Copies of this chain bind each other. A is one copy, B any other.
Amino acid sequence: MTFGKVTGTVVASQRSDEITGLKYLLVRSCNEKGDMGDDYLVALDLVGCGRGEMVLLSQGSSVRQTEVTKQKAVDCVIVGIVDLVEKQGKVVFRK
């Protein structure tokens, strides 16, 4: 898993088989301390996270393995809200 911060929302619709728009979260990559990087990803939220929170991202086909994402063409999900990161005995991030 990698780290990211929730920075916005993406609304997308599907003309073919669904009428209602789906809401995804816009996530910016960050390092283990929470310092933000340059990459943005669109992720499905499995954990109920809020704006600005540091989250754990799981990418690739592993993301199908939950009740929510089963049978959906989703390749990036938020699997947890980061509460604390400890590195060589020091707390480098705390929520």
A-side interface residues toward B, CB under 8 Å?
Answer: 1-3, 7-16, 21-22, 24, 26, 31-32, 40-43, 46-49, 55-56, 58-66, 69-77, 79-88, 92
Contact = CB atoms under 8 A, between A and B. Distances in A.
Contacts of A58: 73-75
A86 to B, nearest CB: 5
A24 B4 CA distance: 15
Tallying the copies of this chain within the complex gives 5
Prevailing SS type, chain A contact patch: strand
A49 B10 CA distance: 17
Nearest to A42: B1
A73 B56 CA distance: 11
Given A9-B86, A26-B87, A15 B49 contact: yes
